[in-house]
Amino acid sequence: MEYTLRIKRYNPEKDVKPHFEEYKVTADAKDRVLDVLNQIKWDEDGSLTYRRSCAHGICGSDAMRINGRNRLACKLLMKDLPSKITIEPLLGFKVVKDLVVDMNKFFDAYKSVQPYLIADEHSGAGERRQSPAQREQFEDTTKCILCAACTTACPVTWTSDDFVGPAAIVNAHRFIFDSRDQGASQRLRVLNSGSGVWRCRTIFNCTDACPRGIEVTRAIEEVKRALLYEQV
Amino acid sequence: MAYHRFDAVIVGAGGAGLMAAIQMAGKANVAVVSKLYPPRSHTGAAQGGISAALGNVEEDHWRWHMFDTVKGGDYLVDQDAAAVLAREAIDAVYELEHMGLPFNRTPDGRIDQRRFGGHTRNYGEGPVRRACYAADRTGHMIIQTLYQQGIKNQLNFFDEHHLMDVLFSEDGQCCGVVTMEMSTGEIHVIHAKMVLIATGGYGRVWSVTSNAIAGTGDGVAITYRRGVPVMDMEFYQFHPTGLYRLGILLSEAARGEGGILRNKDGEAFCARYAPTLKDLAPRDMISRFIHQEIMAGRGINGEDYVHLDLTHLPPELIDEKLPDVTDFARTYLDVEPKTEGVPVQPTAHYAMGGLPTNIDGQVIQDRDATPVPGLYSAGESACVSVHGANRLGTNSLVDLVVFGRRAGKHMLASLEHAEWAPLPPEPEYVAQASIDRLLSAPKSGKGERISDIRSTMQKVMMADVSVERSETSLLRAEETIRQLQGAYTYASVMDKSKVFNTDLTEALELGCLLDCAEATIHGALARQESRGAHYRSDFTTRDDKNWLAHSLVYKTSGGLELAKKPVTITEFEPKERKY
């Protein structure tokens, strides 16, 4: 099938501002968008730049804005797209080149919620006990691959510099609701601050954008409820 | 150019690299270099589990695990290393749990365990539940947990730095690396007392692979160019259940939970070849069974794939224990595993070979196991050898945690008395020259384009150096790779910019892949026997008299040289492998 791709290009060594370039390609319905980007890069224009690695939706490298929605290029098939496709870098972060954005702000926000188990040294032999039901409390948020699709789909992050964003809250949730963790209060302090969960307007863009199917908005609501009712 | 000085530099931030770095955190000044962001590393793609004889759901012993590893590897495994692997796996899994890894749990709150190919009770009597797991994203949980620990320990990450060179002082001590920072194109020289190569595998040599696009063997190839040998490269694992045409991995856990492979007649054919373990025989065998079914015209619709059948499993078990596997089938093939067979074929998956090391991760340079001063390797880039001729499922994760940790501990201990070796003059020279050549050469004509060279290599390796090889096919591949290496010296890239030049890095990666392919073919031609994943149609049986030995391949100015290194046998005498 024939497709026309409009791709937002920006080379900081040449361009004053970004511009769109158009590519006409023939692709199979079962091709991934990433396959088509590779086809353009390998056959036509080697300078087209994007991140990618695993090519099956688990490494989180190739989140980008495809026809206005944040998607992983390796998890979206051509058959699910119209014949005219617009591809842009994620919104809200500085563009490094073409579809590659500067991820520093994203990882800084992630680090701010102390995304690691905080617990006393385990003294006994063997594992800490955790029931299947306790584990189920945070199962959903362990799936995060840090692709930034949710955070850069959130209008609040587009307009404010200091909101930690949905991905950081998801990763805080993963530990706050882990029965083994003892760091909930310090994380909740971060998320109760001006840059925390109260900036969320419950728009559900994050949930819609998540390529892992995480119920991001629900996780944010659970953190809000924990703050209001101290139910952890 | 930027210059840095660290006690140690770790190249590759997957499971092995991070595990090593965590051992040294706070006690030594360590740089961690990754060409991606660490959580994007391919460890995250591992699905099914990490084995350890915890005995949480049924009786198990680490010696059984050791035996399975040795037998699964068709007796090419170094048994001292296999003992370390199986024994320390237990402690390593507990350590991961203490770091926060969210394993699935038994009803009484212990780490749950499930069956996996080639893992047995009581030395081969039947399958055992040994694989600890977190749904079917165990690798994802490992990489996330280790990255979390890296942040907690404030490791010095050099994210998105592409490895360009490994440096040696004039007297042969490894003393650092050269990298290119992707976001600026700037060259960095990192001077260090020791270097750990943990750059993973090179599945992108083949056209159908489960490996990430980043799986290009950079660390192995660059070190090999510097005269360090590679070991057992002819042993490359094809995983039986890659998604048809795409090669995306469908975990062995699918069969561990009861999935069955069927040919076009609906026959569960594995039972015919391996009556005891059936669909849970080791991967090399299952891949060969599939290959033989296809060759005999019993592929689905006469084509080159078979069906992975999960339709008889309870739907809730599929949802709970195999969510990602089934999601892949739905997303990429539009197949519903609860009601129809999933088309699968063998996919290039894992390098048993790599940089030879001892059990402390030190890279060794000859049959006497003499260490290369200052140089370490762990994980898939290394060959200890715990996988021998064929790796058992889950043992890759065990390998990277156990030997990443051992390497890190050994490096930390060695730092106490390690001296700074001087950098070679103009340390950036080789790196800069390779960049300059690719950027300045005239635009390539047809046939010298990077993408053409790469796809020709991938096709010939798939056709001639995969599940089955012969002298004829290997010679054909050897000749093609030689021609492609010639063409590569004239190839150039279209993108001439400095900032985030992935056209350039893909070209550099292709150079590494060609070197890995060359060494693989060289080893495969020399080894005139069939063992594990290396199946020669012209030498169909194992030959312990001549080939119960590791192969070492050296790249010298006079061409490739091959040497043999003895296998360490401590407890289990080689026997015929039956399942």
The ipTM (two decimal places) reads: 0.97
What's the mean pLDDT in B292-296?
A: 95
What is the per-residue pLDDT for A121? Answer: 77
DSSP per position, A78-140: GGGS-SEEEEEPPTTS-EEETTEE--HHHHHHHHHT--S---PPP-SSSPPP--HHHHHTTTG
CB contact under 8 A, B500 and A100: yes
User: pLDDT by residue (tens digit) across B159-217?
Assistant: 999 999 999 999 999 999 999 999 999 999 999 999 999 999 999 999 999 999 999 99
B411-418's contacts with Cβ under 8 Å and 24+ in sequence apart are B411/B8, B411/B20, B411/B23, B411/B24, B411/B28, B411/B194, B411/B196, B411/B361, B411/B376, B412/B23, B412/B24, B412/B27, B412/B28, B414/B194, B415/B7, B415/B8, B415/B24, B415/B28, B415/B193, B415/B194, B418/B193, B418/B194, B418/B374
Which neighbouring-strand residues pair with A6? A22, A86
Which of B44, B109, B497 is nearest residue A131 as measured by Cβ atoms?
B109
Contacts for B241 with CB less than 8 Å, ≥ 6 apart: B249, B250, B251, B252, B254, B255, B261, B308, B344, B347
CB contact under 8 A, A30 and B137: no
Q: Say yes or no: A12 and A68 in one domain.
A: yes
- CATH number at A38 reads 3.10.20.30
Supply the mean pLDDT for chain B. Answer: 96
Nearest C-alpha of chain A: how many angstroms from B325? 11
Confidence band, pLDDT 50/70/90 cuts, at residue A161: confident
User: pLDDT by residue (tens digit) across B222-239?
Assistant: 999 999 999 999 999 999
User: Is A73 in a helix, a strand, or coil?
Assistant: coil
Q: Say yes or no: A198 and A132 in one domain.
A: yes
Q: Say yes or no: A30 and A125 in one domain.
A: no
Which of B109, B141, B212 is nearest residue A130 as measured by Cβ atoms?
B109
Confidence band, pLDDT 50/70/90 cuts, at residue B483: very high
User: pLDDT by residue (tens digit) across B98-133?
Assistant: 999 999 999 999 999 999 999 999 999 999 999 999
With pLDDT > 90 as the criterion, what percentage of chain B qualifies? 95
Q: How far apart are CA A50 and CA A58, in angstroms?
A: 16
Q: Say yes or no: A147 and A51 in one domain.
A: no
* pLDDT(B444) > 60: no
What is the per-residue pLDDT for A75? Answer: 97
User: pLDDT by residue (tens digit) across B518-561?
Assistant: 999 999 999 999 999 999 999 999 999 999 999 999 999 999 99
What is the per-residue pLDDT for A232? Answer: 59
Amino acid at the residue B441: A
Q: How far apart are CA A50 and CA A159, in angstroms?
A: 25
User: pLDDT by residue (tens digit) across B326-385?
Assistant: 999 999 999 999 999 999 999 999 999 999 999 999 999 999 999 999 999 999 999 999
* pLDDT(B157) > 90: yes
* pLDDT(B421) > 90: yes
For Cα atoms A60, A61, A64, give the angle at the middle one, nearest 5 degrees.
95
Q: Say yes or no: A65 and A123 in one domain.
A: no
Provide, as residue numbers in chain A, all residues whose Cβ is less than 8 Å from the Cβ of B146.
none
Q: Say yes or no: A164 and A63 in one domain.
A: no
Tell which of B95, B98, B448 to mutate to test the A interface (max A CBs under 10 Å). Answer: B98
What's the mean pLDDT in B34-41?
A: 98
Question: Which of A75, A101, A127 lies at the terminal end of a domain, its last residue?
Answer: A101
Q: Say yes or no: A123 and A189 in one domain.
A: yes
> Reduced to 3 DSSP states, what percent helix, strand and coil does chain B have, rounded to the nearest 5?
40, 20, 40
Which neighbouring-strand residues pair with A161? none
What distances in angstroms separate CA B258 from CA B255, B261, B497, one per listed residue?
5, 10, 52
Confidence band, pLDDT 50/70/90 cuts, at residue A231: low
Of the candidate ranges A138-142, A161-165, B394-398, the one whose mean pLDDT is the lowest: A161-165
A218 at the B interface (CB within 8 A)? Answer: no
Q: Say yes or no: A109 and A27 in one domain.
A: no
User: pLDDT by residue (tens digit) across A37-49?
Assistant: 999 999 999 999 9
What is the per-residue pLDDT for B447? Answer: 55
Backbone angle region of A192, left / alpha / beta, with phi > 0 → left and psi within -120 to 50 → alpha: alpha
Question: Which of A101, A121, A143 lies at the terminal end of a domain, its last residue?
Answer: A101
Question: Which of A68, A101, A134 lies at the terminal end of a domain, its last residue?
Answer: A101
Total domains in the fold of chain A: 2
Q: Say yes or no: A52 and A150 in one domain.
A: no
Pick the residue from chain A with its C-alpha nearest to B102.
A135
Task: Tell me, yes or no, if B531 is annotated catalytic.
Answer: no
Q: Containing domain of residue A52, as a range?
A: 2-101
Q: Say yes or no: A82 and A171 in one domain.
A: no
Q: Say yes or no: A156 and A223 in one domain.
A: yes
With pLDDT > 70 as the criterion, what percentage of chain A qualifies? 99
- CATH number at A162 reads 1.10.1060.10
Residue A194: how many other CB atoms lie within 10 Å: 9
CB contact under 8 A, A75 and B152: no
What is the per-residue pLDDT for A124? Answer: 72
Q: Say yes or no: A26 and A124 in one domain.
A: no
Nearest C-alpha of chain B: how many angstroms from A43? 8
CB contact under 8 A, B99 and A117: yes
CB contact under 8 A, A46 and B503: yes
